[in-house]
Amino acid sequence: MNEALPALLVIDIQESFRVAPRWQGRNNPAFEDNVARLIAAFRERKLPVIFVLHSEPGSHDSFDPAQGYVRLQDFLERHEGEALLTKTTRGVFASTDLGAHLQALGVGRLVISGIQTEQCCETTAREGGDRGYAVDFVTEATRTFPIAHWAAGPTLEPDAIVERTEYALAGRFATIRTVDEVIATLPRGVVA
């Protein structure tokens, strides 16, 4: 594992979310621009960009591939040679061959972006940290939504969700970084 070689994970930025009612409560209005900046920086330096989609076959909602929404949001364009993985679990490692893919590329550092901050993004950061990867969690390149209380208590708003996620990850599973901080640390790479 090459600790210096990073890969950008673009997790679940898919149409499934845009058609769900909770999309209206989303946070982070700069999300798309921040994700696009990270992708452009990785591509310029010839570093791996890995796209991930979440699929729940048979769920009969927007995550069921039969509904037609399990595809990248329109502002994203996957280039030739960039991986596209489809997962059925919250964490990317658990239901894909991400680990083998990263090993083949010699990746030692993961940069996390995507939807939802506290679910698939956080879970993948924890999985990566537990597997020995250096993990940069780029909160400003993630997005989330309010969460209703399971027993009719108060709704947890996105700012509180983001704060809790950063507290849980920082110094344990990941380093919390801004887009600018990540870009400033990127080496020039060669995608195998």
Q: What is the pTM of this model?
A: 0.94
Q: Is 74 exposed, middle or buried (0-12, 13-18, 19+ CB in 10 A)?
A: exposed
Rounded Cα distance, 153 and 150, in Å: 7
Rounded Cα distance, 124 and 102, in Å: 13
Q: Where are the beta strands (DSSP E) in the chain?
A: 2-11, 49-54, 83-87, 107-115, 134-143, 175-176
Q: What is the pLDDT of residue 96?
A: 98
DSSP class of residue 91?
S
Could you give phi then psi for residue 164, rounded to 5 degrees?
-60, -40
Task: Give me the CATH code for the 2-185 domain, please.
Answer: 3.40.50.850
For 3-48, how does the pLDDT look when each residue is reduced to its tens digit (9 = 90+)?
Answer: 579 999 999 999 999 888 777 888 999 999 999 999 999 999 999 9
The answer to whether 54 and 16 are in contact (CB under 8 A) is yes
Token pair, residue 74, equals: 């329109």
Question: Which three-class secondary structure state does DSSP give residue 24?
Answer: helix
| Confidence check: pLDDT of 191 > 70 | no
Mean pLDDT of the chain: 94
Range 121-139 average pLDDT: 98
Q: Is the peptide bond before 116 cis (omega within 30 degrees of 0)?
A: yes
Of 153 and 47, the structure prediction assigns the larger pLDDT to: 47
